[in-house]
Structure 1
Amino acid sequence: MIAEGRLYGRSVKLYSKRPANVYEMLARSAVQFPNREALVKGGTRLSYAELKQLVDRTAACLSENQVKKGDRIAILLGNDIEFVLTALACAKIGAMFVPLNTKLTANDLIYMMTDAGTNMLITNRELVKSLENWLIHHSAAPCCYLTDGREPDKRLYSFHEDLLGHARGKEQPFSPPHETDSLYIMYTSGTTGRPKGAVGSHVNAIHSCLSYQTVMQTDHTVRTLVAVPLFHVTGLIGQLLHMMLVGGTVVLMERYQTEATIRLIQQERITFLFNVPTMYIMMMSHASFHASSYDFVRIVAYGGAPVSKETISQLRNCFPSACLHNAYGATETTSPTTIMPKQSPDDKTDSVGVPVPVADVKVIAENGEPAKPGEAGELYIKGPMVIKEYWNRPEENRSSFTEDGYWKSGDIARIDEDGFVYILDRKKDVINRGGEKIYSVEVENVLYAHPKVLEAAVVGVKDPIFGEEVKAYIVPKSGESPTADEIITFARERLSKFKTPKQVEFLDQLPRNPGGKILKNKLIEMSMTNQPQ
């Protein structure tokens, strides 16, 4: 049931029946499904009862080390069990965890920990190497606990023994967090300037998990393979916390590897997949993939990048029993804003679905007025899953949120007469060719239809006559060698002349951030130095 309410001063829709905080989601599942598998990583298999026991022990360890409500705990780990234990322990005692991207430079990591004012860092010996000098010599650096090793030095201590040891005493008294309390600070993967810390709360995460459960109709029988990073909202919210809510099973992969993913899907009988499109393309292109049947997979979800109609057709053929769900969201919306419903018309395949039940979305045209159905403009989003604020960014908060509570997404979209949302481009990536607006997704969808194209990305490059021209970067399918003329001719037959790529360049792979999003700024930089082919 959904009711109108107020959250952070905004009028929003709220799920009437919801857990009080994120830890309660785990506690409920531990009561309802104590013996069901909750978490699997390698040879470790934890039931819900065992997972809750370890989370409680971790919370006791943190509280004994003077971690209290509102403190910030940085987690610099891959998809490890210790990541899960630390995050859920923070959720229990009201501390905020700060998940850090393991592929960032030391300077970026130090900036984020300093900006967030972290009290503690949980990491491992490999990942801490680049930070050791800072941790040892800077008084403002957080104390550091390692998940591996037994030889602490003056500043680096072994967290693993504290985490699982029995020598520790009882938890310090604390009051359970309120749903509006902050749960984490997740730094956005911005392409310009310093990243911003998006402050996600318990109520944000709870509503996102409930939206996934409602739309995808998930329950305790679902098993999901987390191959995307837990330090992004898809892995953290769409899979891990989502499963804690419904009592499903989470199988962790340290990092995505095509052959290992295919093997784990079969071995663990994974029923719920949630990946960026590139991962599916790589799987379906792998020789071992077609040696098995995947009729046990019930849900195939994807997001984070445009999906071609050809890829969707392949997914339907490869996962014949699965419902396909395109999903759209952002760090600021705690994962889902829209999800493709289970029953959707074939002519909507290029849509990212309809708003989740508690979301309000609208498109604002260039003149600042609400757009008409089918008209393009910036997508504005409101709901209980939208973050309250950016950490220590008052100017960003004033410019990014409207007075009536909408977050300005920066994405160009249109909404059709049936309420389906279509993402056309990032606002900053729209190509302006002599006054004509070109949305890269439209061009990319055409290029994906070429039989020799595995992946495509379109950007605007400087042109002395038109200001900008369309350039396509192409990753060919294995064994194929298309020419630039071949690609341009194919596009010209299907697009208006001004939308047809003028330049084509071939790459072995497209540059991406760890969340799978194509870094178009990197492609534009490449275009400034590379000669067109």
Structure 2
Amino acid sequence: MTTRSASKMRRILDCVNKSSKLMARRNSVWTAERTLTTPYDKIEIPNCTVYDYVWENLEKWPEKTLSVCSATGRGYTYEQAFNLSNAFAANLRLKLKIRDGDTVSVMLPNIPDFPLIAIGILGAGGVISTINPIYTPHEVQRQLIMSKSKAIVTMPESLKVVQEALKLAKLNIPIIIVKTNGDATPENTFCFNELSEDVHVDKSCLKEVRRSPTDTCFLPYSSGTTGLPKGVELSHRNLVANMQQMNVSQIRNHEDTTETHQDAVLGVLPFFHIYGASVIMFHKMSIGAKIVTLTKFNPDNYFNTLEKYKISILYAAPPMILLMGAHPASTSETLQHLRTVINGAAPLGSQDVERFLNKLNRKADVRQAYGLTETSPLAIMPPVGIENYQTIGYPVSNTEAKIVDDNLRPVGPNQAGELLLRGPQVMKGYRDNPKANSEVFTVDGYFRTGDVAMADEKGLITITDRLKELIKVKGYQVPPAELEAVLREHPAILDAAVVGIPHEVKGEVPKAFVVLKEGQKVEAKEIKNFVKEKVAPFKRVEEIEFLDKIPKSSAGKILRKDLKATNT
């Protein structure tokens, strides 16, 4: 037997032994108190920042590609990214006066510069707050105010939106532009390319940075279980713990980067969302993978990129799995390099997975994971090799779960209830929102997910329904309260309620129920256009229904179930 064959055999035996241990421990997942523990190996959480964690093994793969644009081939090696991001970090402190704990907003599509900008902000001691690049000025200004941003990074094509947002917010903060061509830098802006390529900048100022693992490093905005967007405070420890959890052998989906091997991961899920930022961007930087960015999604680009860049790991949302199961360009040839496909963002049916596997025409590691912005995001994951496509698996390492009834009492196997989670990846809390924190954290420190789940006798968890009011459009969260507030700004509208209704392609879409002020008349089309001007495309109201009165409880809460019942 050759040395290489012997090494491979040892790895296989090691996996078999670990799988055997996992099987043996599954019966102990349920505790006597009806808590769900994890069967996965315990992790040690390094006492470091995300910046230090990501660059820890840089010397192992300096010449490997960190990020590359699928359309243009423009990209960076790990060594280039390290040097450029540090120069950018130094200039953030020296020229823009960013200090420890200051928030810098990032409003970008998935471009190869995104990882450099994000890690550069952390290197400067800052906090990253991401904004969807298709947001309107109305949406952007609200987040800039809530996050107390001291600067914003964006593209030239988004500059007008940002400028209008700053006017609305009455803010005067620096704008950093990322140029991907030779155009001149717009007036009164900084150029990321110049800040990062400044070979004369004094990087010694970065020694002044003092950030601890418990400090907030990432501030995405989520609607939680209900209501308007809230700032989710994720610490360095939260993200580092979650990356360590992803590395555990029973669930990991990457192979080690070596001189002869580098996993290629498709950066199609948005980096401005926690799924893309943590799982695809930061974690894959920490293991030396190649991140292939897809700025604009269309089927031809998507399938061409999968084949051309030999994508081995794909993190997907349901619309992408559905596309791969139905599109003519989806063939065993275009999908030939895929080794692992992880679905997240929303549940997926077994039949949808089977259609995809028929196109693939071979076995692959296909699993359905579960996470939330508030859990950094990964919280529950099936083991490698599972062929149950409905389950989301077991709590990840160092994580506990409970399924509870309406009185927060734990239920047993095969009983439905709200899913609660506790672990090192759970957020610090919602920024400046003690009321929301008191609603989502129990007295014993569990986070209330707002999702209805069930676990079988072995502890395998399945999401069965959603308690939360969020509408999921193609995996994006749409909070009804936000649309209701926009609707009530219309001069003819007295009251409004929004619910999600089923849609063949998008999963769900928003439908608005509207009560007009006395004597007012307005067409549904006009209301749709009014909302359209104020929100991103995925939040647009698809249907309008006029009512005399919005059904509400005695406490004044909208009875959304009653409204949804009219659409069944």
Instruction: Identify the residue that residue 276 of structure 1 maps to in structure 2.
Output: 317
Distance 1:527 1:296, change over 3 A: farther
Distance 1:313 1:329, change over 3 A: same
Matched residues, percent identical? Answer: 24
Structure 1 Cα separation of the partners of residues 380 and 536 of structure 2: 18
**Letter of the structure 2 residue corresponding to residue 204 of structure 1:** N
Q: Is the 8 A contact 2:141 2:168 kept in 1?
A: no
Q: Is the 8 A contact 1:228 1:515 kept in 2?
A: no
User: Which residue among 328, 344, 359 is the counterpart of 1:303?
Assistant: 344
Q: Is the 8 A contact 2:253 2:313 kept in 1?
A: no
Instruction: Identify the residue that residue 216 of structure 1 maps to in structure 2.
Output: 252
Residue 240, structure 1, aligned to residue 274, structure 2: no
Instruction: Identify the residue that residue 77 of structure 1 maps to in structure 2.
Output: 108
Between 392-401 and 269-278, report the one with greater CA deviation: 392-401
Report which of the two has the higher share of strand: 1
- Listed one character per residue, the Cα deviations across residues 441-496 of structure 1 (whole Å, up to 9, x for unaligned) are 9xxxxxxxxxxxxxxxxxxxxxxxxxxxx99745289xxxxxxxxxxxxxxxxxxx
**Letter of the structure 1 residue corresponding to residue 243 of structure 2:** C
The offset of 1:103, in angstroms, is 2.1
Distance 1:269 1:182, change over 3 A: same
**Letter of the structure 2 residue corresponding to residue 198 of structure 1:** V
Task: Please provide the CA RMSD for this pair.
Answer: 3.4
Segments of 4+ moved more than 6 angstroms: 526-533
Distance 1:239 1:527, change over 3 A: farther
Instruction: Identify the residue that residue 93 of structure 2 maps to in structure 1.
Output: 63
- Listed one character per residue, the Cα deviations across residues 216-244 of structure 1 (whole Å, up to 9, x for unaligned) are 24232321001010011111111111111
Instruction: Identify the residue that residue 249 of structure 1 maps to in structure 2.
Output: 290
Instruction: Identify the residue that residue 15 of structure 2 maps to in structure 1.
Output: none
**Letter of the structure 2 residue corresponding to residue 60 of structure 1:** A
SS in 1 for 2:138: helix
Structure 2 Cα separation of the partners of residues 137 and 362 of structure 1: 44
Between 220-229 and 264-273, report the one with greater CA deviation: 220-229
**Letter of the structure 2 residue corresponding to residue 356 of structure 1:** V
Structure 1 residue runs of 5 or longer lacking an equivalent are 1-11, 431-439, 442-469, 478-510
Instruction: Identify the residue that residue 482 of structure 1 maps to in structure 2.
Output: none
Q: Is the 8 A contact 1:29 1:244 kept in 2?
A: no
User: Which residue among 214, 238, 246 is the counterpart of 1:180?
Assistant: 214
Residue 18, structure 1, aligned to residue 75, structure 2: no
Structure 2 Cα separation of the partners of residues 165 and 251 of structure 1: 26
Q: Is the 8 A contact 1:381 1:407 kept in 2?
A: yes
Distance 1:212 1:176, change over 3 A: same
Structure 1 Cα separation of the partners of residues 92 and 500 of structure 2: 52
Structure 2 Cα separation of the partners of residues 361 and 123 of structure 1: 39
User: Which residue among 29, 33, 38 is the counterpart of 2:61?
Assistant: 33
- Listed one character per residue, the Cα deviations across residues 72-94 of structure 1 (whole Å, up to 9, x for unaligned) are 00011111233221210122232
Residue 46, structure 1, aligned to residue 81, structure 2: no
Distance 1:234 1:315, change over 3 A: same
Q: TM-score, normalised by structure 1?
A: 0.76
- Listed one character per residue, the Cα deviations across residues 126-168 of structure 1 (whole Å, up to 9, x for unaligned) are 1121232453686533221211353443x43333322223343
Structure 2 Cα separation of the partners of residues 59 and 138 of structure 1: 26
The offset of 1:315, in angstroms, is 3.0
Distance 1:190 1:370, change over 3 A: closer
- Listed one character per residue, the Cα deviations across residues 108-141 of structure 1 (whole Å, up to 9, x for unaligned) are 1111111111100111221121232453686533
Distance 1:205 1:191, change over 3 A: closer
Structure 2 Cα separation of the partners of residues 55 and 515 of structure 1: 30
Q: Is the 8 A contact 2:225 2:469 kept in 1?
A: no
Instruction: Identify the residue that residue 333 of structure 1 maps to in structure 2.
Output: 375
The offset of 1:403, in angstroms, is 2.2
**Letter of the structure 2 residue corresponding to residue 216 of structure 1:** R
Structure 1 Cα separation of the partners of residues 287 and 467 of structure 2: 36
Structure 2 Cα separation of the partners of residues 54 and 108 of structure 1: 31
Q: How does 1:439-450 map to 2 (within 5 A)?
A: none
Q: Is the 8 A contact 1:75 1:121 kept in 2?
A: yes
**Letter of the structure 1 residue corresponding to residue 111 of structure 2:** D
The offset of 1:70, in angstroms, is 0.2
Distance 1:18 1:255, change over 3 A: farther
Q: Is the 8 A contact 1:119 1:143 kept in 2?
A: yes
Q: Is the 8 A contact 2:85 2:196 kept in 1?
A: no
**Letter of the structure 1 residue corresponding to residue 220 of structure 2:** M
- Listed one character per residue, the Cα deviations across residues 392-418 of structure 1 (whole Å, up to 9, x for unaligned) are 111111111112211111111111111
Q: Is the 8 A contact 1:381 1:408 kept in 2?
A: yes
- Listed one character per residue, the Cα deviations across residues 293-346 of structure 1 (whole Å, up to 9, x for unaligned) are 5343211100111211111212333342421121111000111111121132x4
Q: TM-score, normalised by structure 2?
A: 0.72
Question: For this pair of structures, how many residues does the alignment match?
Answer: 447
Structure 1 Cα separation of the partners of residues 441 and 275 of structure 2: 23
**More relative contact order, 1 or 2 (CA 8 Å, 6+ apart):** 2
Instruction: Identify the residue that residue 403 of structure 2 maps to in structure 1.
Output: 363
Structure 1 Cα separation of the partners of residues 44 and 303 of structure 2: 39
